Amino acid sequence: MVRNVRDKFRSSLCLILSLLLLICLASCYPEFKNPIPPPAELKADPQILGTWVRTYKAGQSEYKEQLSIFQRSNGWIDAVWIYDIDKKESTDGISLLVLEGYSASVNKQRFLCLRVRKRDFNWAGQKNRRRSDKEVGEQLFTENWIMVNYETPNNDELVIKPFSTQRVEELIEKGRLKGEVVKEKEGLFRTPEQPLDKVTVTSSSDELAEVISKEGAGAFILDDPNDTFRDMNILVFSRSKT
């Protein structure tokens, strides 16, 4: 009896935590119903595999993060993002997010198409429903994909540039992308200096690739050296030496 109660509590806690992670992720970056089309021969980019680390400062605080990327036999990748490492203000330990996806390219620009990994979160009503990795572009259990552009200036450096909510919202307003924008009031996720509207792109995979081809990755990325939040927009990792 006690064990059943404990298991139910643990299951509910996992669901709540996964919801909070998704809310946090969605508040920072735009969501895509359909990712960039995968290549005909899906294969993990060997340059990004392995463990990467970064340290950055925000105000008086220093933050440490670790990103480990693993390949699957079918060409997909698993990405384990660990943050809040050695955070002095917290006694709850590290925070963890597991993503899955694949690498794609448009005009020699490289991208990662990522989503929260379903197998780690048994959502209500979805427990007995499984999807294969081939179902790219169809309606997914979260309906959310995160798009990032990435570069590897050398073997020991990985630069990740998530698509910017602000830039994608501008593309929707100009009619270049299809999508929905829900305006946030000033408060937890929005300030006059840093608007964080909820942006969901509904363009098809081919339409998204066409816009990237015409506009270039720079049209989707906010890269301002004077931006207070630049470390959220441009993530520079170094290969772990341990």
Query: How far, in Å, CA of 95 to CA of 2, rounded?
Result: 28
Contact indicator for 239, 157 with CB cutoff of 8 Å: yes
What is the rounded average pLDDT for all residues in the chain?
79
β-sheet bridge partners, residue 180: 200
Position 140 confidence tier, pLDDT thresholds 50, 70, 90: very low
Q: Where does the pLDDT of residue 1 fall: very low under 50, low under 70, confident under 90, or very high at 90 and above?
A: low
Taking the C-alpha atoms of residue 11 and residue 16, their distance in angstroms, rounded to an integer, is 9
Q: What is the pLDDT of residues 82-108, one digit of tens each?
A: 988 877 665 577 888 899 999 999 999
Domain extent listing, the chain: 2-239
pLDDT digits (tens, 9 = 90+) for 180-236: 998 766 544 444 444 567 899 999 999 999 999 999 999 999 888 877 767 778 999
**Chain-centroid distance, C-alpha 179:** 18
Angle at 142 between CA 99 and CA 87, to 5 degrees: 45
> 58 vs 35, 122, 168, 228, 229, CA distance in Å?
31, 34, 25, 8, 8
pLDDT at residue 25 above 70?
A: no
- pTM exceeding 0.85: no
Q: What is the pLDDT of residue 171?
A: 97
Looking up tokens 């909070």 gives 20
Decide which of 20 and 180 is more confident: 180
Each residue's pLDDT tens digit, 57-88: 777 778 899 999 999 999 999 999 998 887 76
Confidence (pLDDT) at 13: 37
- Please name every residue paired with 81 in a beta bridge, in sequence order, or none if there are none: 67, 97
Q: Which of 16-30, 124-138, 207-221 has the lowest mean pLDDT?
A: 124-138
**pLDDT tops 50 at residue 8:** no
Would you call 113 helix, strand, or coil by DSSP? strand
Three-state SS at 3: helix
